[in-house]
A and B are shown apart, each in its own frame.
Chain A
Amino acid sequence: MTENEPVLKLENLQKYFTDESLKDRILGRDVSPVRAVDEVTIDLYENESIGVIGESGCGKTTLLRTLMGLYKPTGGEMYYNGEPTSEFSKAEWQKYRRNVQIIFQDPFNSLDPKFTVRDTLKEPLQVHGLDNHEERMHRVLEEVQLNPPEQYIDRYPKQLSGGEKQRVSIARALILEPEVILADEPVSMLDVSTQASILTLLSNLMEEKGLSMFYISHDLSTVSYICDEINVMYLGRVVERSPTKKVLREPKHPYSQALIDAIPVPDPHYNRERTKIEGAALDPVDLGEGCRFRDRCPERMDICDIKPRFVDVDGESIASCHLYYDHESADPAADIDERRLASGSTTSGVEATGKAGDN
């Protein structure tokens, strides 16, 4: 791996689900796809941790499963150490799977009830044909602070507490000494004191082992604890990307602002501003072009029917919002054209999309 090359690079990654029945196909009906993940571009560098936040149904889980290689992207490309995954051979996928490991949200579901801790940890070792099983298992259990390992290794999941189960899940992810950890809300099902210890454990491990982490959550407070950079996702698209501190202090996109406003403040006398957004997120079907947040946005303008560009707001934050660039000076003619296109005339929709996609 060369210097400064991202370990994992997503380029306009797209995952649409089309539920086309035989009848639709015979009648030649067009079924609108569910745009679960739409043109997501993220770079993950070595020893960096990137957070993706967003409400339920915004495509976080689909993104994660695409990253795991469980779904095939319908568009865009995913690069692992510079190699496009769409051209991976079986052996390369196996290598990818060894180096990209996952920690799930629900510790009660992420361990096989019929497996002891030993079986759970042994499986990845057997699949990848590694030796020194006992030694590796003991070492990894010590790393996740299940001490002494002998006391835990022959237990079944039902004999472990929630926090201990999650430590075993982390151990399973670490035992292959991966480069990247995908974490799907790894602490959201744990109580608060356990959350803190698991988060500390994760961030220590990252530092010690030089891991990169892709952390997915809906909970800003845990994300900010562990991530360097946060991507805010709404209905399949990333709407803002900023360093963690920055997004907490001055969120740019109206949706991020609403998210930050919604973080509870542990002071009963603090009179915080109520969030201004109402309603629920739409289904990601037939959204048309334009900003996906436009129906709930307190700052809604006419121009929001056009897909917003990604603009660099102040050198640190990148937001996809019309509030942050001057349309007049950019290219007024093009924008007006696009507006007309978006409101329903026929030709060159492709062109408009292409333009909007340029950051």
Chain B
Amino acid sequence: MLNRIPILSRVSEGFSNAGNHYAIRNFRNALGKMLDSRMTMVYASFLVFVLLLGLVGPWIAPYDATDRIRGEDGELLRGEPPSLDHPLGTTEVGYDVFSRMLIGARPTAISGLLGGTIIITIGSLVGITAGYVGGRTENVLMRMTDLVYGVPLIPTAIVLIAFFGVGFIQSILVIAFVLWRGSARVLRSQVLQIKEREFILASKATGTSTPRIIMKHIFPNVATMAVMFFAIGVGYTIIIQAGLSFLGVVDPFVPSWGVMMRNAYASGQVGNYWWWSIPPGLMIAFTVVSTFMFGRSYERISGGGDDEGAMVQAG
């Protein structure tokens, strides 16, 4: 009944022309509605702020990330508390904390977006294919997902990074290749629900091809959920990467917020120089909370709001 094998290649082909008009139209509709909700606006503006920092941060930062600040007497300014010249003080080796905060937005944004994209791409490919095709394909894909569920994230990440080398991109890849599991599972269950609905049967009865049904009916109907998983994926990647930075298995020369906390901790001065560790910590926390809440409200507003369970299952 279904042509099983060519489906993967044709689905991926379908994704490339996903810029079809109603996907954009639905997204615009949902966005319009979100602008009416004040709390969502707050989260959204914070995310836009972080993204903008990621774009222009390095240019507007008063100092370079590796500039060591010297006082008028030529001495290094070590652990200077916040002042007008240095709004967030300096580090133990004389870096300007404020500048490093601005510069650190870029790696954070990149890791979030890249991680989220990989997570949702693998998750929706596996989930939608498994859900729609069913049978043996579903069995293989979902057992694979179960296997990944058995993987403890942080220890595995540490081991894999040891294999592939300590690096910024490597850490993102390792995280994303584990975290797609949640979205695959939930999207599959969504697809299982949708594919039995009568508009799919009507479409099949008209002779619509399987790839077309997936692209035109299934994907738009799980898209809000996919957007939510993208947001959650962004948040998770950022926070876990921060965790890995803190453990010291991420490239220390990319000045992300996680690395800043790591450096503060490694210097042994966390207790004394609070301006060094707390601001990046807060930025990470705010960013992650904003992505979660943004995804949640996008899904609630455009998806009709009857999917309380999805956020819980997502973990």
**Interface residue from B198, B209, B212, B217 paired with A110 (Cβ < 8 Å):** B198
- For chains A and B in complex, what number of residue pairs have CB atoms within 8 angstroms? 68
Residue of A109, A119, A176 most packed against chain B (CB within 10 A): A109
Given contacts A68-B201, A112-B221, contact A127 B206 (CB under 8 A): yes
Among A1-9, A96-104, A212-220, the stretch that binds chain B is A96-104
Are A123's CB and B206's CB within 8 A?
Answer: yes
Q: Is A350 an interface residue (CB 8 A)?
A: no
Tally chain A residues at the interface, Cβ within 8 Å. Answer: 32
Instruction: With CB as the reference atom, state the residue of chain B lying closest to A173.
Output: B202
Are B207's CB and A94's CB within 8 A?
Answer: yes
Are A112's CB and B199's CB within 8 A?
Answer: yes
Q: Is A172 an interface residue (CB 8 A)?
A: yes
A112 contact set on B, CB distance < 8 A: 199, 203, 217, 220-221
A39 contact set on B, CB distance < 8 A: none
Q: How far is the CA of A106 from the CA of B207 in the complex (A)?
A: 21
Interface magnitude class on chain B: 20 to 34
In the complex, how many angstroms separate the beta carbon of A185 from the nearest chain B beta carbon?
11
In the complex, how many angstroms separate the beta carbon of B30 from the nearest chain A beta carbon?
11
Q: Tell me what chain B mostly uses at the interface: helix, strand, loop, or mixed.
A: helix
Encode B199-242 as 1/0 by CB contact (under 8 A) with A.
10111111111001000110011000000000000000000000
Given contacts A110-B198, A115-B22, contact A101 B206 (CB under 8 A): yes
In the complex, how many angstroms separate the beta carbon of A259 from the nearest chain B beta carbon?
26
In the complex, how many angstroms separate the beta carbon of A133 from the nearest chain B beta carbon?
15
Q: Is A93 an interface residue (CB 8 A)?
A: yes
Q: Is B1 an interface residue (CB 8 A)?
A: yes
Q: Is B26 an interface residue (CB 8 A)?
A: yes
B22 contact set on A, CB distance < 8 A: 114-116, 119
B216 contact set on A, CB distance < 8 A: 123
**Interface residue from A93, A116, A120 paired with B207 (Cβ < 8 Å):** A93
Are A176's CB and B206's CB within 8 A?
Answer: yes
Encode A97-141 as 1/0 by CB contact (under 8 A) with B.
110111011100111111110011001100110000000000000
In the complex, how many angstroms separate the beta carbon of B128 from the nearest chain A beta carbon?
15
Are B208's CB and A70's CB within 8 A?
Answer: no
Are A97's CB and B207's CB within 8 A?
Answer: yes
B209 contact set on A, CB distance < 8 A: 127
Q: Is B143 an interface residue (CB 8 A)?
A: no
Q: Is A320 an interface residue (CB 8 A)?
A: no
Given contacts A119-B22, A127-B212, contact A97 B221 (CB under 8 A): no
In the complex, how many angstroms separate the beta carbon of A91 from the nearest chain B beta carbon?
10
Given contacts A114-B26, A115-B22, contact A70 B1 (CB under 8 A): yes
Q: Is A69 an interface residue (CB 8 A)?
A: yes
Residues of B within 8 A of A (CB): 1, 22, 26, 197-199, 201-209, 212, 216-217, 220-221
A-B contact pairs, 25 of them (CB 8 A): A68-B205, A70-B205, A72-B1, A94-B207, A98-B206, A101-B206, A102-B201, A102-B202, A104-B201, A105-B198, A109-B197, A109-B199, A110-B199, A112-B199, A112-B221, A114-B22, A115-B199, A115-B217, A116-B22, A119-B22, A120-B199, A123-B203, A127-B209, A172-B202, A176-B206
Residues of A within 8 A of B (CB): 65, 68-70, 72, 93-94, 97-98, 100-102, 104-106, 109-116, 119-120, 123-124, 127-128, 169, 172, 176
Contacts A69-B205, A124-B206 supplied; 20 other A-B pairs, CB < 8 Å: A65-B201, A70-B1, A97-B205, A97-B207, A100-B205, A101-B206, A109-B197, A109-B199, A110-B198, A112-B203, A112-B221, A114-B22, A115-B22, A119-B22, A120-B199, A127-B206, A127-B209, A127-B212, A128-B206, A169-B202
